Chains A and B, each alone.
Chain A
Amino acid sequence: MTKTLTIAKWEFITTVTRGAFIFAVIAMPLFYGGMFALAALAGRSAQASTSRAPVAVVDLAHILDLSFAAERAALREHARQDALEQMTALTARRSPAAAAVSSDTTSRPTPLVAYPTVDAALTDLRASKVSSVFVVNPDYIATGSITSYSRESGIFARQGDRQRQTELADAIRASLLKPALAGDALNRAYAPATNLSRLVLTRNGDFQPSADDTGLGPIAGSFGVFMLLTMAIFFSAGFMQQATIAERQNKMIEILLSSANPDEIVLGKLMGLGGAGLLQVGIYVALVIVPGTALLSVFQIPALKLALSVVYFFLGFLTFACLMTATGMIGRTAQESAQLSTIWMLIASAPWFFVTNIGAAPHGVLARALSFFPLTSPIAMMMRLSGTDLSLVEVFATIVVDAVAIAVIFRAATKIFRASALMYGKRPTMPELVRWLRAA
């Protein structure tokens, strides 16, 4: 064990003090942070510019009451703001920091301006006084025919177009409903689902308000945290492969094998390089979730689920780190090893291809099959845990299966490590691999 720890310490220190590691730890969060900030700024800027420019409406069908429509839109916006403030208050009680993240996500409605003629509207469009022109054609009631004129084109203009179309559709709906309905009935017909409460079934058979009702989108809550952990598996395991390749290129393996047995070497590397990978991922996760502890409390992830996810994270890391070690030893070059390792990445990613199916049927055959196949089990189980409650028997069974698989893969990795270590510049053939694995 002393030699294992010596190797682990060396691998950890030499990795975390490497320029590339430090650069990755500092530069990647800065890069992605900068990209997100730029995207957010650009989004706000686009939204602001869209909302500043009014939309010209030429009502040739004479159905629109734009002042009434504006009044309805304001009422709807007010109701939406009330709901948002309630959510922000709930969030703030759990975490002030998260409240800062979730607040200020409003989008103001685009003002609609009536124009008497198409020519006048198009003149203002050419002069950039309006963002677009909608002509409600005379036969609209019979055909639904509307003509749209816009300055912008291409894929990036679609979101603005869609928003303006929604504003016009709301205005038409409000105007058409006005003669038929009044009061609350009109409000409900105009905005039928602005005050929705979500309740979910618990293990006790009760219904409780949804913990994910924070309005932070689909990656929020436990699913987002577990997704980060699954990404961390590949980060950490990737270190193992890189280091194994470097060791081979340095031709140090024979010296190591004369000083320690393959089990000690591979285990030491797993510990040291895994630690370095975990440190890197830990820093990323801390930066992403900061103020992380606050968000964890917001998401209200049950402690048992969080603990189990960490267990599956380590099982996944050990599985793929061992596989990466063996793959790193088989390739003749770094590129070749990296190419070979993509097969593990593809297999491990399988649960992500079936995320909809697993989400729809977390106790189904597919979900269970992926949970009991060692290469997909850690990620599939984290995925299922994030969306539903699982029986402890099933959890325990998958952990046992994964642990046994890790022992087998570790044994195979050390055999390949020992045998291929001495094959400088030569890739083993499949029969050779089989022979090594069968060797005592």
Chain B
Amino acid sequence: MTTESPPPLPIRVDRVSKRFDKTLALDAVSLEVGAGEIFGLVGPNGAGKTTLIRTVLDIIKPDSGTVEVLGHAFGPADRDRIGYLPEERGLYTRQPVGAVLEYLGALKGLTRSAAKAAAHRWLERFDLADMAAKKVDQLSKGNQQKVQIAAAFLAGPSIAILDEPLSGLDPVSARLVNAVIREYAAAGHTVILSTHQMNLVESLCSRVFMIARGRRVLYGDLKEIKRQHSSHAVLVRSTADYRACPLVARVADGPDEEGLVQVDLVDAASPDAFLAWLVAHNASVERFERLSAPLEDIFIRVVQTTAEVA
């Protein structure tokens, strides 16, 4: 009987620190990203997201700590295994789109024919097949953005790191890019999404890492984080008189169009205890829903708390 060892983690960052002059950009940051995962990297401006990404890509060397890619310390060959869309967008504006993609594919280790085929395939995927011969500066900003995203996926890397992939895209293109990201992860690849768009993180990511002032402030399963940071509020449709319950702090004025009433609980109470109280008082509960805080609210609250502590 043989025991199969688990596949190596695509990314493992262990207590990585990096200082620029007097600024501690990364302060003993640790995280792990699994295969097939869409991982959200969020944080306010200047929090250290880009430094963390550049450290993973070996563009910046950490002062201390280790970075492992696909189970080993970063090596030269790992550059070919990571696709990257940097926040600072750039392309060779005077060159044809197809030629630029072929060049970037070749730099990721593809043969000339493979790079050409991949460029064609990805341009088609982004509805840009007829733009291959055009010079980059003849494309709209949005289409240039799609070309850059295509460049990140071009060589079929095990890991794709996308920094603000949807900025500047119209809703149709944004939906297309969302679909591509989902497909890519579904095929077993890892996608790291760095963004300020919390709705994007909520719709795509299974786990998140929030960084503020170089430190990890949130990390883990997105649903669990939202549950932990949700207010003590529930939406209920039942026959009970909520004001009679000692666990209730406030009841909203009236039910919504679905007949649901928002009930705010006192700090010491939990939704589970409130549900138990309803059952114990023979209320007919038709619907009971924990009110989840939007990630954006959690983000703002955590960032403000971090700033106050600092």
Contact = CB atoms under 8 A, between A and B. Distances in A.
B86 A255 contact: yes
A158 interface: no
Contact of A6 (B57, B76, B92, B106): B106
A258 B59 contact: yes
B151 interface: yes
Given A261-B76, A418-B59, A254 B107 contact: no
Interface string B238-264: 000000000000000000000000000
B151 A255 contact: yes
A257 B55 CA distance: 12
A18 interface: yes
B108 interface: yes
A250 B90 contact: yes
Contacts of B151: 255
A254 B90 contact: yes
A7 B107 contact: yes
A189 to B, nearest CB: 71
A259 B57 CA distance: 9
A257 B76 CA distance: 11
Nearest to A260: B107
Contacts of A440: 61
A31 to B, nearest CB: 24
Contacts of A439: 61
Contact of B107 (A256, A422, A424): A256
B104 A259 contact: yes
B59 A255 contact: no
B121 interface: no
A251 B144 CA distance: 13
A252 interface: yes
Interface string A1-33: 011001100100010001000000000000000
B59 A257 contact: yes
Interface in A255-269: 255-261
B107 A250 contact: no
B54 interface: yes
- Chain B interface size band reads 20 to 34
Main secondary structure of the interface of B (DSSP, over half): loop
A324 B17 CA distance: 33
Contacts, number: 59
A271 to B, nearest CB: 15
B54 A422 contact: yes
Given A255-B84, A258-B84, A259-B79, A6 B107 contact: yes
Contact of A252 (B54, B59, B91, B106): B91
Contacts of B57: 257-258
A18 to B, nearest CB: 7
A439 B79 CA distance: 22
Interface in B104-129: 104, 106-109
B162 to A, nearest CB: 12
B208 interface: no
A431 B94 CA distance: 36
B306 interface: no
Contacts of B60: 422
Interface string A300-324: 0000000000000000000000000
A310 B61 CA distance: 39
Contacts of A18: 94
A258 B86 contact: yes
A251 B90 contact: yes
Interface in A217-256: 250-256
Contacts of A422: 54, 59-60
Nearest to A424: B88
B167 interface: no
B79 A250 contact: no
B56 to A, nearest CB: 10
Contacts of B88: 251, 254, 424
Nearest to A17: B95
Given A3-B107, A6-B106, A260-B107, A255 B90 contact: yes
B91 A250 contact: yes
Given A255-B86, A260-B79, A10 B103 contact: yes
A254 B59 contact: yes
A1 B240 CA distance: 75
Nearest to B53: A258
A4 to B, nearest CB: 11
Interface string B45-59: 000000000100101
A252 B90 contact: yes
A137 B214 CA distance: 97
B287 interface: no
A14 B95 contact: yes
B93 interface: yes
B245 to A, nearest CB: 57
B16 to A, nearest CB: 16
A263 to B, nearest CB: 10
B103 A6 contact: yes
Interface string B8-36: 00000000000000000000000000000
Contacts of A7: 107
Contacts of A2: 109
Nearest to B151: A255
A418 to B, nearest CB: 7
Contacts of B80: 259
A61 to B, nearest CB: 76
B82 interface: yes
Contacts of A10: 103
A255 B104 contact: yes
B142 to A, nearest CB: 17
A256 to B, nearest CB: 7
B154 to A, nearest CB: 11
Nearest to B112: A6
A261 to B, nearest CB: 7
B86 A259 contact: no
A261 B75 CA distance: 11
Given A250-B93, A251-B88, A254-B54, 17 more contacts: A6-B106, A7-B107, A14-B92, A250-B90, A251-B89, A252-B90, A254-B86, A255-B104, A256-B107, A257-B59, A258-B84, A259-B79, A259-B107, A259-B108, A418-B59, A422-B59, A440-B61
Interface of A: 2-3, 6-7, 10, 14, 18, 250-261, 418, 422, 424, 439-440
Those 4 A-B pairs whose CB atoms lie nearest each other, nearest first: A251-B90, A259-B107, A258-B84, A254-B86
10 contacts: A3-B107, A10-B103, A14-B94, A250-B92, A254-B59, A254-B86, A255-B104, A258-B82, A259-B80, A424-B88
Interface of B: 54, 57, 59-61, 76, 79-80, 82, 84, 86, 88-95, 103-104, 106-109, 151
